[in-house]
Chains A and B, each alone.
Chain A
Amino acid sequence: MSKNAVFIYSPEQLGYKFSDSHPFNHKRLLLTMDLLKKIDALSDDDIVPARIATDEEIALAHDKKYIEIVKNAGHGLLTPQQCENYGIGTEDTPIFPNMHEASSLLVGGTLQAVDYVMQGKSRHALNLGGGLHHGFHGRASGFCIYNDSSVAIKYMQEKYNARVLYVDTDAHHGDGVQWSFYDDPDVCTLSIHETGRYLFPGTGNVTERGNGQGYGTSFNFPLDAFTEDESFLEVYETAMREVFEFFKPDVVFTQNGADAHYFDPLTHLYGTMNIYREIPKLAHKLAHEYCDGRWIAVGGGGYDIWRVVPRAWSFIWTEMNDLPYPTGELPKSWLEKWQKEAPVPFIPTWEDPNPLYEPIPRKAEIEEKNAQMLTKALHIIRNERK
């Protein structure tokens, strides 16, 4: 009897840690799991340990020389200067002990999720430790050493001959994954993010549509800074429905960065918990409509690890298990346990207070601009349909 969903996690995944003050902090995993356990949504039977990805598997999407550099850097054999050309030893992606081992466990977690779903052992699978979408073929970038998503998609192509739709709702453009499959017509990448005019990595314009054989299988939806829930969701829902219908994937792989929230310190989107309830809901529905339920979800960005990420990521798991949305008060025991450590007061409910912020002066224009962007981005498939 196959399961509805598995939750991939090993405590060693927490070893992916740059420093105590670095914004990328996988304590998010503990906070999320504890929250899910306290509402009785997650039991130990649901949890499958991550495995370590082999060098050969990592090399599906990375240069072998780069893998050697990461290994040596994590074993203290290289200075930051010697790693400069590989994007590590920077303020974003500092060297830390055993960085290769920790990173390959995040990749292996995502591969584990893939195998469970593709072998029919479970309909859906979640590896919140993954989603490191900025990693490049031969270079670390933006907190990401190995790109678990690129590796996993290549792995699905080779092992299961699958046609994959990658959906990225992180507030930063999913550049690493996009460039990995830019020429490939059998992988479609869809990224919704804050415009790169200011925000890292700067790419993700609507005009980036793929190259050669892969032209027309990269979709980008750059939202204006200060975009709010309604406009975000209008873009997300329209883009998802039309791209699913156009590409007809065998399996959907979602990257669930939770940094488009108003509280997130690194971005300028004004999302609330509403978007994090709706994002997995539609992904789930469309996975059943088009992919016989095959849905793999990973984590990603999310830098308010106290007020935003645990609630946002819990919604993915409850959705995967067809549980009703948690609503109302958060469990007291959870709030009490973590409030001592948290530098900010928690939002004590699953919903955000309304209003959460002062009204945005140019709301109507921002919405209008996003709507125009959406039309431009989908023009290519709408034209084909006529």
Chain B
Amino acid sequence: MIVEEIMNRHVYSLSPTNTVNDAVRLMREKKIRHLPIVDGQGTVVGIITEHDVKNALPSCLKEEPNSTIHQTPIEEIMTKNPIIGHPLDFVEEVAVTFYETKISCLPIVSGGELIGIITTTDLLYTYIELTGAHKPSSKIDIRVSDKPGTLSDITQIFKEHKANVLSVLIFPDSKNENSRILSVRVQILNPLAIIGELRNQGFDVLWPNVPGVHNE
């Protein structure tokens, strides 16, 4: 999956000469936390986050009449030359960037212009879509040995039961490094026949997988 498939194309931005007050208002109004700062040519020259704004403003507990901070141009508090992304970047790469640099937003630039934005919220939503139930389905977790052909053996059983598989995730087994957990979301209310067949063929079905509770 690449960034252009999940990025937000409707980007709110400001220019370096807008004031801190403009940023506060726009963030509140649109319920957003990040604003790319764009110059007259459409080039991203900075970024300002809700955190930057809060740092700049005086405490709400302390009265400071006639504070000039609200009228300060944004360019004085923005992060200059922020990390940017490209619409063809892989979503996984963006996740690594967020994780390693501890930032939470990437302006997406193509042809020298700002064309989109992606935030940790968008990435989380993508993850929810990958693992969640978008169609009525049951989930079956299976502990499998980490060797070629296992997935094929398992999907054969789903095929024989005409069960439509909606998602498959394979992740490490925290208990045994020679095995993996296969988590399958399948469009069926009654998975008992499939589970029976999986167990017949020697698979360790964990459904439902609650640590400390053993289910027959």
Q: Are A202 and B138 in contact (CB under 8 A)?
A: yes
Which among A61-69, A192-200, A307-315, A326-334 touches the partner chain?
A192-200
Q: Are A225 and B208 in contact (CB under 8 A)?
A: yes
The reply on A385 being an interface residue by CB < 8 A is no
User: Once the chains are docked, how many angstroms separate the CA of A202 from the CA of B188?
Assistant: 11
What chain A residues lie within 8 Å of B208 (beta carbons)?
Answer: 197-199, 225, 268
| Binary per-residue interface labels of chain B (157-172) against chain A in the complex, 1 for a CB within 8 Å, 0 otherwise | 0000111100000000
User: Once the chains are docked, how many angstroms separate the CA of A243 from the CA of B147?
Assistant: 52
Beta-carbon nearest neighbor of A134 in chain B:
B136
- B193 CB contact (under 8 Å) in A91, A197, A198, A361: A91
The reply on B192 being an interface residue by CB < 8 A is yes
User: Once the chains are docked, how many angstroms separate the CA of A347 from the CA of B106?
Assistant: 63
Beta-carbon nearest neighbor of B208 in chain A:
A198
The reply on A15 being an interface residue by CB < 8 A is no
What chain B residues lie within 8 Å of A134 (beta carbons)?
Answer: 136, 189
Known: A91-B161, A92-B188. 14 other contacts (CB 8 A): A90-B187, A90-B188, A92-B190, A142-B136, A143-B189, A197-B139, A200-B190, A201-B137, A201-B189, A202-B136, A225-B208, A266-B190, A268-B208, A268-B215
Decide yes or no: A202 and B132 within 8 Å by CB, A225-B210, A361-B213 being known contacts: yes
User: Once the chains are docked, how many angstroms separate the CA of A198 from the CA of B185?
Assistant: 9
Binding site for A on B (CB under 8 A): 132-133, 135-141, 161-164, 185, 187-193, 207-210, 212-213, 215
The reply on A353 being an interface residue by CB < 8 A is no
What chain A residues lie within 8 Å of B161 (beta carbons)?
Answer: 91
User: Once the chains are docked, how many angstroms separate the CA of A265 from the CA of B215?
Assistant: 12
Q: Are A362 and B136 in contact (CB under 8 A)?
A: no
What chain B residues lie within 8 Å of A92 (beta carbons)?
Answer: 188-190
Give min CB distance, B128 to chain A, whole Å.
10
Decide yes or no: A362 and B212 within 8 Å by CB, A134-B136, A198-B207 being known contacts: yes
- A172 CB contact (under 8 Å) in B132, B189, B210, B212: B189
Query: What 7 A-B pairs are tightest by C-beta distance, nearest first?
Result: A202-B133, A201-B136, A142-B189, A198-B208, A200-B138, A200-B189, A225-B208
A-B contact pairs, 18 of them (CB 8 A): A23-B192, A91-B162, A91-B163, A91-B190, A92-B190, A134-B136, A172-B189, A198-B208, A199-B139, A200-B191, A201-B135, A202-B136, A202-B138, A225-B210, A266-B192, A268-B208, A360-B213, A361-B212
Give min CB distance, A262 to chain B, whole Å.
12
> Interface residues of A, CB < 8 Å — how many?
27
User: Once the chains are docked, how many angstroms separate the CA of A141 from the CA of B134?
Assistant: 13
User: Once the chains are docked, how many angstroms separate the CA of A198 from the CA of B140?
Assistant: 7
User: Once the chains are docked, how many angstroms separate the CA of A141 from the CA of B135?
Assistant: 10
Decide yes or no: A226 and B210 within 8 Å by CB, A200-B136, A202-B136, A203-B133 being known contacts: yes
What chain B residues lie within 8 Å of A142 (beta carbons)?
Answer: 136, 189
Binding site for B on A (CB under 8 A): 23, 90-92, 134, 141-143, 172, 175, 196-203, 224-226, 265-266, 268, 360-362
User: Once the chains are docked, how many angstroms separate the CA of A194 from the CA of B189?
Assistant: 13
User: Once the chains are docked, how many angstroms separate the CA of A141 from the CA of B190?
Assistant: 11
Give min CB distance, B137 to chain A, whole Å.
5
What chain A residues lie within 8 Å of B213 (beta carbons)?
Answer: 225-226, 360-362
- B189 CB contact (under 8 Å) in A197, A224, A266, A362: A266
What chain A residues lie within 8 Å of B132 (beta carbons)?
Answer: 202
Give min CB distance, A266 to chain B, whole Å.
6
Give min CB distance, A345 to chain B, whole Å.
18
Beta-carbon nearest neighbor of B139 in chain A:
A198
Which of A23, A90, A198, A203 has most B Cβ within 10 Å?
A198
Q: Are B190 and A198 in contact (CB under 8 A)?
A: no
Give min CB distance, A269 to chain B, whole Å.
11
Decide yes or no: A203 and B136 within 8 Å by CB, A198-B208, A226-B213 being known contacts: yes
User: Once the chains are docked, how many angstroms separate the CA of A220 from the CA of B207?
Assistant: 23
User: Once the chains are docked, how many angstroms separate the CA of A204 from the CA of B181?
Assistant: 25
What chain A residues lie within 8 Å of B138 (beta carbons)?
Answer: 198-202
Give min CB distance, B159 to chain A, whole Å.
12
Beta-carbon nearest neighbor of B206 in chain A:
A198
User: Once the chains are docked, how many angstroms separate the CA of A92 from the CA of B191?
Assistant: 9
Q: Are A196 and B133 in contact (CB under 8 A)?
A: yes
Give min CB distance, A231 to chain B, whole Å.
15
Give min CB distance, A228 to chain B, whole Å.
12
What chain A residues lie within 8 Å of B140 (beta carbons)?
Answer: 198
